[in-house]
C-alpha cells in the first residue's frame, strides 16, 4: 500500500507537516500540523493550518486522524483547529501521561490539569494499528527525543517524528526532560528494521552542510547507509557519546515554553481566566 503523501513545510519553525491520503478512498490523516505563533506579540495565526485545510477540501478528502508524533517543543499544534474545521480524531503516544506529569510540575499546573491523556481522542501504544480508509497504520513507540515519541508506519511510508532527520543532518536531540540517547539509538533500530525501500518522512529540516535546499523525504536504505550520526552500523557507544556531547552545546528552541504548555493539552490553550483572557506561563530557571 502506497499512500499519497503531501508535505507542508513551515519555514518559521523548520517543521514539516504531512497529509497521508488513501489512494483508494477519500480518507486522509494529517501528521504534525503547525499553529503559527508570534512569540513577541503572543498572537496565534492559522495561516499554515488554513493552507492544509484548503488542500484537503480542494481534493474533497475526509479527515480521519490528526496524528502527533510527540509533544513538540518548537511549534504549537493546530490539531484542535483542524479537528474543529474538518473532524477526525487526535492521536498521540500513550506515554503522553509521562510528559504531562513532568511538565505539569514544571508549569505548576495544579490538579485541574489532567495528566491522563484525556485531552486526546486516542492514546496509541507500540504494536497498535488503525485504519485511514483502506490503509493500515502501524504504531511504533520510538522514544529517546521524548518519552512519548511515536513513529506511524502507513503502508510504505514511515512518519518518524523527531528520531531520524535527513541522512546528512543526522538525528534528533535527546536532552529534553525524559530524553535518552541510548533509547533513541534503540528506537532508530526499530525504524531501520523496516524494509529498505520504506519511505521516511522527517518532521524537521534545517538544511545541512553542502545542501542549500530543504528536504524531508528519504528511505530506510539511505538512512542505514548514509546517516551521519547512526548510519553504517555506528555503535551505541559512539552514538550516545556523540549525541550527548552535541546536545550539551544546543540552546533551547525559541518556542519551547509556549509549545509545551499548549501541546501537552492536545493543542488547546490553558483555561481562560474570569475575564475570558488566556495566559501562558514563563517559568524561571526551570528548564
Ligand atoms: Fe520535537
Q: Residue 286 above 90 pLDDT?
A: no
Residue that has been written with the C-alpha cell 518548537 in this structure: 74
Residue with the larger pLDDT of the pair 287 and 258: 258
CA of 238 to the centre of ligand 1 (A): 23
The residue among 9, 10, 19 whose CA lies nearest residue 159 is: 19
| pLDDT confidence of residue 180 | 98
Distance in angstroms (rounded) separating the CA atoms of residues 116 and 273: 23
| pLDDT confidence of residue 269 | 97
Q: For domain 4-264, is the CATH number 3.40.50.1820?
A: no
Q: Residue 1 above 90 pLDDT?
A: no
Q: What is the pLDDT of residues 13-62, one digit of tens each?
A: 999 999 999 999 999 999 999 999 999 999 999 999 999 999 999 999 99
Q: What is the pLDDT of residues 183-233, one digit of tens each?
A: 999 999 999 999 999 999 999 999 999 999 999 999 999 999 999 999 999
- Ranges of each domain in the chain: 4-264
| pLDDT confidence of residue 234 | 97
| pLDDT confidence of residue 44 | 98
Q: What is the pLDDT of residues 165-187, one digit of tens each?
A: 999 999 999 999 999 999 999 99
The mean pLDDT value of the chain amounts to 97
CA of 74 to the centre of ligand 1 (A): 7
Surrounding residues of ion ligand 1, Cβ less than 5 A: 72, 162
CA of 60 to the centre of ligand 1 (A): 31
| DSSP of the chain | ---EEEEEEETTTTEEEEEEE-TTSSEEEEES-EEEEETTTTEEE-HHHHHHHHHHHHTT-EEEEEE-SS--SSSEE-HHHHHHHH--EEEEETTHHHHHHHHHHHTT--TTS--SSTTSSEEE-TT-EEEETTEEEEEEE--SSSTT-EEEEETTEEE--SSB--TTT-B----STT--HHHHHHHHHHHHTS-TT-EEE-SB---BTTB-S---EEEHHHHHHH-TTTTTT--HHHHHHHHHHHHTTPPPPTTHHHHHHHHTTTTPPPPP-TTS-------SS--
Please state, for a pLDDT cut of 70, what percent of the chain lies above it: 100
CA of 15 to the centre of ligand 1 (A): 9
CA of 173 to the centre of ligand 1 (A): 8
Q: What is the pLDDT of residues 233-254, one digit of tens each?
A: 999 999 999 999 999 999 999 9
Amino acid at each position: 500500500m502506497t499512500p499519497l503523501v503531501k508535505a507542508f513545510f513551515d519555514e518559521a519553525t523548520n517543521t514539516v507537516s504531512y497529509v497521508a491520503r488513501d489512494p483508494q478512498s477519500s480518507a486522509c490523516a494529517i501528521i504534525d500540523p503547525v499553529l503559527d505563533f508570534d512569540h513577541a506579540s503572543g498572537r496565534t495565526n492559522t495561516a499554515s493550518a488554513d493552507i492544509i485545510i484548503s488542500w484537503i477540501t480542494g481534493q474533497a478528502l475526509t479527515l480521519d486522524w490528526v496524528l502527533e508524533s510527540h509533544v513538540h517543543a518548537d511549534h504549537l499544534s493546530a490539531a484542535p483547529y483542524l479537528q474543529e474545521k474538518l473532524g477526525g480524531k487526535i492521536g498521540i503516544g500513550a506515554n503522553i501521561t509521562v510528559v504531562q506529569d513532568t511538565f505539569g510540575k514544571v508549569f505548576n499546573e495544579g490538579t485541574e490539569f489532567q495528566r491522563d491523556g484525556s485531552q486526546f481522542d486516542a492514546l496509541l501504544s507500540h504494536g497498535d494499528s488503525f485504519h485511514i480508509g483502506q490503509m493500515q497504520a502501524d504504531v511504533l513507540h520510538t522514544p529517546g527525543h521524548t518519552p512519548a515519541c511515536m513513529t506511524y508506519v502507513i503502508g510504505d511510508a514511515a512518519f518518524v517524528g523527531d528520531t531520524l532527520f535527513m541522512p546528512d543532518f543526522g538525528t534528533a536531540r535527546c536532552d529534553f526532560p525524559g530524553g535518552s540517547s541510548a533509547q533513541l539509538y534503540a528506537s532508530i533500530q526499530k525504524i531501520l528494521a523496516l524494509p529498505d525501500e520504506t519511505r521516511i518522512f522527517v518532521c524537521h529540516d534545517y538544511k545541512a552542510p553542502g545542501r542549500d535546499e530543504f528536504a524531508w523525504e528519504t528511505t530506510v536504505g539511505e538512512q542505514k547507509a548514509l546517516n551521519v550520526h547512526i548510519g553504517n552500523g555506528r555503535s551505541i557507544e559512539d552514538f550516545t557519546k556523540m549525541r550527548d556531547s552535541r546536545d550539551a552545546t544546543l540552546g533551547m528552541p525559541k518556542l519551547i515554553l509556549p509549545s509545551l504548555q499548549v501541546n501537552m493539552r492536545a493543542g488547546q490553550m490553558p483555561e481562560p481566566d474570569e475575564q475570558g483572557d488566556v495566559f501562558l506561563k514563563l517559568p524561571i530557571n526551570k528548564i
